[in-house]
């Protein structure tokens, strides 16, 4: 009996047909409906092949959802059972992706391809809003995380999977709960997926890795949400600042980041980690893989720092600096 399925068009073939149609539209001076199929550029670092690419939701603005691509990496080394190794490795690869010149340019200037197409904003179309999903580890100790590169939620971790978790093994960012609340619901009852807010929780004084490890025990919804939020701090901020990846086992929200002056004394006492990430755009121009030397230069030469919300963060003396600090 003849297998009729052999005559069906596969999803991969449909994607190629649509892509060629969009190319034909361009040559005929017809504006395509989806530039992502024309302009898509794989943002994964060289040598890190992608085994799955599929459409996903991205955002040019808070209320402007678009269609983009999500790029899935294959499992990357280390094939480790040690969670700190996995978190640091994935964050380092995300840092490399964020330093892609096209992504870096679009992050700073908001000239994403789809932003030009959908919003009519003049732009130099270099790369589309997109997501990348990175994963590492062995089957039962695997960590996965998905970064968003687009006009809104820039560099945000949109999804996390931790195979060591009890109950739900994964969580996603909820864009419906803009402000983090103490009573934040940890699980979407309809989907059964744990949720975390796009605003970081506040739990000063506790090592972030310990909070992240709460996913391995049965906890309240709020505690589970904070546990996933701690993952985003280690992964998301670890992709932005190199020193975070080197201090996964001890960094806290209120850890002071300081530096030594040329005469061997503390030049500026430092800035708390929870204030540092608020200055990512205003001080560090939304860069990824920020070196210790760059942070040191800012600590030595900038005071106060201005957050992205135009709030002053002064570098003031603090007695905790000598016993709860990371020196760069």
Q: 282-313, pLDDT tens digit by residue?
A: 999 999 999 999 999 998 888 888 888 888 88
Cβ-based neighbour number of residue 47 at 10 Å:
7
Nearest to 289 by CA among 2, 45, 8: 45
Q: Does a cis peptide bond (omega within 30 degrees of 0) precede residue 78?
A: yes
The predicted-structure confidence for 109-163, as pLDDT tens digits, reads as follows: 877 776 555 555 555 556 788 899 999 988 778 999 999 998 888 899 999 999 9
pTM: 0.81
CB 179 within 8 A of CB 197: yes
The rounded distance, in Å, linking the Cα atoms of 282 and 173 is 24
The predicted-structure confidence for 63-104, as pLDDT tens digits, reads as follows: 888 888 888 888 777 778 889 999 999 999 999 999 988 888
Q: Which residues pair with 325 in a beta bridge?
A: 256
Measure the N-to-C terminal CA separation of the chain; round to a whole number of Å. Answer: 71
Classify 313 as helix, strand or coil. strand
User: What angle do the packed helices 101-109 and 83-98 form, to 10 degrees?
Assistant: 80
């Amino acid at each position: 009996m003849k297998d009729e399925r052999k005559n069906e068009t596969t999803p991969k073939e449909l994607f190629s047909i649509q892509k060629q149609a969009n190319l034909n539209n361009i040559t005929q001076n017809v504006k395509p409906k989806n530039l992502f199929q024309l302009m898509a550029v794989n943002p994964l670092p060289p040598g890190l092949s992608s085994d799955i690419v599929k459409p996903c939701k991205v955002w040019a603005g808070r209320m402007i959802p678009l269609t983009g691509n999500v790029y899935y990496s294959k499992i990357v080394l280390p094939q480790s059972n040690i969670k700190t190794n996995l978190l640091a490795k994935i964050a380092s690869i995300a840092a490399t992706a964020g330093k892609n010149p096209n992504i870096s340019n679009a992050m700073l200037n908001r000239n994403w391809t789809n932003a030009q197409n959908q919003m009519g904003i003049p732009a130099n179309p270099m790369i589309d809003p997109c997501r990348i999903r990175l994963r590492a580890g062995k089957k039962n100790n695997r960590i996965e995380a998905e970064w968003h590169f687009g006009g809104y939620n820039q560099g945000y971790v949109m999804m996390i999977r931790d195979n060591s978790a009890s109950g739900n093994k994964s969580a996603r960012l909820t864009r419906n709960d803009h402000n983090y609340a103490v009573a934040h619901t940890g699980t979407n009852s309809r989907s059964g997926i744990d949720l975390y807010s796009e605003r970081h929780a506040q739990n000063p004084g506790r090592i972030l890795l310990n909070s992240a490890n709460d996913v391995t025990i049965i906890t309240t919804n709020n505690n589970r949400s904070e546990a996933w939020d701690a993952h985003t701090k280690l992964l998301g901020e670890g992709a932005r600042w190199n020193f975070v990846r080197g201090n996964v086992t001890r960094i806290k929200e209120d850890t002071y980041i300081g530096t030594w002056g040329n005469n061997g004394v503390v030049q500026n006492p430092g800035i708390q980690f929870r204030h540092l990430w608020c200055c990512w755009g205003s001080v560090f121009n939304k860069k990824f893989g920020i070196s210790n030397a760059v942070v040191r230069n800012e600590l030595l030469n900038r005071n106060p720092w201005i957050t992205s919300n135009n709030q002053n963060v002064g570098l003031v003396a603090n007695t905790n600096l000598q016993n709860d600090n990371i020196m760069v």
